């Protein structure tokens, strides 16, 4: 007997679709801005519609491939998993984004550091990530000059 199927709330799916559309619009705008900046104006007016068409067709092709693959995988899972399994189609799992702004740099003496704008907890979490990657890190310290900013040195 095939697996049971559940579907996600339509409002959440619509919100996610809107975010994707906004991201695509930003990417297309950035591409057009780059064409404007890098090409002479007498060439960019001719290239812009062609680049827009190429961008849209590539997005459409990628979307069709993705939907086809998702559909095929969904059918295969539904058929091959037992009734004990629950198949959830079109679920949006979005991780909570890190609200901290992270910048790296070097002091005047060449000492590497990581600058974190956010809470001390954010800075500690980022320091732990650097340690997990194999870096030796100093302690998290408050930046005297910028409010809400923390830093630590990489050793």
Q: What is the mean pLDDT of the segment spanning 17-36?
A: 88
- Asked whether residue 81 carries a pLDDT value surpassing 80, the answer given is yes
Number of H helices, E strands in the chain: 3, 6
Q: Are 90 and 10 in contact (CB under 8 A)?
A: no
Q: What is the mean pLDDT of the segment spanning 9-37?
A: 86
pLDDT on residue 131: 93
What is the distance between the alpha carbons of residues 125 and 152, in angstroms, rounded to a whole number? 12
What is the distance between the alpha carbons of residues 26 and 141, in angstroms, rounded to a whole number? 36
pLDDT on residue 78: 81
pLDDT on residue 92: 61
Specify which of 13-22, 89-98, 127-136 reaches the highest per-range mean pLDDT: 127-136
**pLDDT top residue among 134 and 87:** 134
Helix (H, G, I), strand (E, B) or coil at 101: strand
Helix axes 41-80, 10-38, angle to 10 degrees: 150
Name the pairing type of β-strands 86-89 and 4-7. Answer: parallel
Q: Are 119 and 43 in contact (CB under 8 A)?
A: no
Residues 6+ apart with CB under 8 A from 4: 83, 85, 86, 87
What is the distance between the alpha carbons of residues 27 and 21, in angstroms, rounded to a whole number? 10
Q: Which of 29-38, 69-78, 94-103 has the lowest mean pLDDT?
A: 94-103
What is the distance between the alpha carbons of residues 75 and 69, in angstroms, rounded to a whole number? 10
pLDDT on residue 97: 64
Quick: pLDDT tens for 110-150: 999 999 998 999 999 999 999 999 999 999 999 998 888 99
pLDDT band at 1 (very low <50, low <70, confident <90, very high): low
């Amino acid at each position: 007997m095939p697996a049971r199927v559940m579907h996600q709330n339509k409002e959440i799916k619509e919100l996610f679709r809107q975010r994707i559309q906004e991201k695509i619009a930003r990417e297309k705008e950035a591409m057009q801005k780059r064409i404007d900046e890098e090409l002479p104006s007498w060439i960019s007016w001719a290239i812009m519609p062609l680049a827009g068409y190429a961008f849209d067709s590539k997005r459409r092709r990628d979307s069709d491939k993705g939907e086809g693959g998702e559909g095929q995988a969904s059918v295969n899972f539904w058929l091959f998993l037992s009734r004990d399994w629950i198949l959830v189609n079109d679920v949006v799992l979005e991780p909570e984004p890190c609200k901290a702004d992270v910048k790296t740099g070097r002091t005047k003496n060449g000492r590497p550091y990581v600058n974190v704008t956010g809470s001390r907890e954010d800075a500690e979490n980022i320091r732990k990530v650097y340690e997990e990657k194999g870096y030796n890190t100093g302690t998290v310290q408050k930046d005297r000059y910028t409010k809400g900013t923390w830093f630590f040195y990489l050793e």
